[in-house]
Amino acid sequence: MPGEAILVVDDNETNVKLVRFLLVKRGYDVRVAANANEALAVLENFVPHLILMDLQLPGMDGLELTRRIKAEPRTRAVPIVAVTAYAMKGDEEKARQAGCDGYITKPIDTHALPSKVAEYLSRSGSEA
């Protein structure tokens, strides 16, 4: 639903620009963090409706960041979707075990991403 807040956690500037463009164009409120520390700082004062999480981040990786976000009562219910170049057998399972609610592979499919985001948002809304 347009207007819903999304946090994009990704250190690749090109990916961030693309995802932000695709989602802002559809009316979403998009915030960005380039690493785990930035994401945790953003989450101190802001609880998004959805987090798009790169798994390969500098320093703390996206799996550990997901575990930390899911361990906090304030952010536990926020759906986290892994957006990653990891596409090996077992990688999706690792992401789900860490707490990710979904998994999207890179490169970003510009036609499918907005509808997948809408799908994850509607799922989380129906579970609330």
pLDDT in tens, 96-105: 999 999 999 9
pLDDT in tens, 72-98: 999 999 999 999 886 777 889 999 999
Domain 5-119 in CATH: superfamily?
Response regulator (3.40.50.2300)
pLDDT, the chain, mean:
92
The pLDDT assigned to 2 comes to: 63
Using H for helix, E for strand and C for coil, what is the string for 8-45?
EECCCHHHHHHHHHHHHCCCCEEEEECCHHHHHHHHHH
pLDDT in tens, 15-37: 999 999 999 999 999 999 999 99
The pLDDT assigned to 1 comes to: 58
Q: Is the pLDDT of residue 128 over 50?
A: no
Bridge partners, residue 8, by sequence: 32, 52
Q: Is the pLDDT of residue 69 over 60?
A: yes
Which residue, 27, 23, 19, is CA-closest to 3? Answer: 27
Q: Residue written as tokens 């500037």?
A: 13
Whether 9 and 3 have beta carbons less than 8 Å apart is answered as no
Mean per-residue pLDDT for 54-78?
Answer: 96
Which residue, 67, 19, 49, is CA-closest to 127? Answer: 49
Q: Is the pLDDT of residue 119 over 60?
A: yes
DSSP 57: -
The pLDDT assigned to 125 comes to: 64
Q: In this prediction, what percent of the chain has a pLDDT beyond 70? A: 95
Omega before 107 within 30 of 0, i.e. cis: yes
Domain ranges of the chain: 5-119
